[in-house]
Amino acid sequence: MRSPAPRAEPAAAPTAPRAMISVRKPASSWPSGFRQLMFIPVISLSNCPDDQFWVTNNIGPGRGGRGMAMNRKEIQHGSWILMKGTIRFLFMVINNLVAIPSYVLYLIVLQPLKLLNSKLFWHVEGIMFKWLLAMVSSWGWTAGYTVVEWGDDVKAITEDETMVLVNHQATGDVCTLMMCLQDKGTVVCHMMWLMEYVFKFTNFGVVSLIHGDFFIRQGKAHRDQQLILLRQHLEKYYRSRDRKWIVLFPEGGFLRKRQETSQSFAKKNNLPFLKHVTLPRQGATEVILQTLCAQHENGAVGDANGAVEKQKGLQWVIDITIAYHKAKPIDIQTWIIGYREPTITHVHYRILLISLTGIVVNGQRQC
């Protein structure tokens, strides 16, 4: 006797297909522009409402039904960010491939001038260096990242030897500073930078190396040796290449990395509790003051009428504070790709006359 054939299960009721996409990890914490970009290539516009597309994340237990709606404007905006970012990145690559080798080759050709007239050679090098910094500044300007400057007018002291102290929040701080200083006469041509050692191995590292900037290693293991090397570097290159301003970030790292330890140190030593900046480190600043300040007796710096007498040596300190909109710093990736909305960065200047500020290091007046 033949067994009866198994009964067929009733067919499931047909459901309207949806356009769906699975992603590898939750994208809720990503910037909105990138979150949209990740969905663009595989979203199907069929079988969806005219102005809305459904995107789901099916990874992990219990996540199958979760999703979010994207409208046509968001997809168009994400597409525009992707296209603009690609164009800007290619433009930056072309800039670097043309401008940096040109800078190096011109200086190789001008080596005879260096032997005949070293001062003129470094003046020409400074002009080309300023052009390169203007190129970097243009990446932010074309993305709508502008600057409003406040405080003292620093144009009046661009020809004097000056130490520039800047707070540090992100890699975009350097780009912001490059933009600010473009209209400050020839100061960019005669400027020396102190920067993290790792930047020596970036695309701009060879330019900074030729220009005479100093790359400093962080950490206790290298501290003493680095200060010795900094002193030797200043003695060898600062005045021989007619440098005027020396720029450093005395906080020694980004705000987000240093804030907790800075506040802890402040609490233990009864120092101000700072939220938007960190307590500066003194090592490099001390070496600069000791090496570059003109030594003068009894701190006398003025004539009988009270007029300040200009003298050879470090004369000024400029305290620069960079403040970003809603305290969200701009990094170099944003500066290049331009995926953030146009924004205004505020830069404040405060000028201090070294001889009148009574700067003291280890109980001794340095200037």
Query: Exposure string (b/e) for 44-77, b if CB count within 10 Å is 16 or more?
Result: eeeebeeeebebbbeeeeeeeeeeeebeeebbee
Percent of all residues in the chain with a pLDDT value above 90, rounded to a whole number: 30
Counting Cα atoms < 13 Å in the Cβ hemisphere of 37 gives 13
Instruction: Please check whether residue 294 is in contact with residue 348, taking contact to mean a CB–CB distance below 8 angstroms.
Output: no
Determine the angle formed by the axes of helices 72-109 and 118-142, rounding to 10 degrees: 170
| Mean pLDDT, all residues of the chain | 75
Among 160, 163, 236, which residue's Cα sits nearest to residue 194?
A: 163
Comparing 19-23, 270-274, 346-350, the range with the smallest average pLDDT is 19-23
Rounded average pLDDT over 10-22: 45
Query: What pLDDT sits at residue 29?
Result: 44
Instruction: Please check whether residue 188 is in contact with residue 129, taking contact to mean a CB–CB distance below 8 angstroms.
Output: yes
Distance separating alpha carbons of residues 34 and 132, to the nearest angstrom: 30
Q: Kindly report, residue by residue over 175-208, the tens digit of the pLDDT.
A: 889 899 998 888 999 999 998 888 888 888 899 9
Considering only CA atoms, give the Rg of the chain: 28
- Residues in the chain, total: 367
More confident residue, 344 or 5: 344
Q: Kindly report, residue by residue over 60-77, the tens digit of the pLDDT.
A: 444 444 445 567 777 877
Find the largest Cα–Cα distance for the chain: 129
For residue 187, what are the CA distances in angstroms to 90, 161, 192, 253, 303? 30, 10, 10, 25, 28
Rounded average pLDDT over 150-161: 91
Rounded average pLDDT over 209-236: 88
pTM metric for this prediction: 0.70
Rounded average pLDDT over 347-361: 74
Residue 358 has pLDDT above 70, yes or no: no
Residue 282 has pLDDT above 80, yes or no: no
Instruction: Please check whether residue 140 is in contact with residue 293, taking contact to mean a CB–CB distance below 8 angstroms.
Output: no
Comparing 161-175, 216-230, 301-315, the range with the smallest average pLDDT is 301-315
Distance separating alpha carbons of residues 167 and 350, to the nearest angstrom: 13
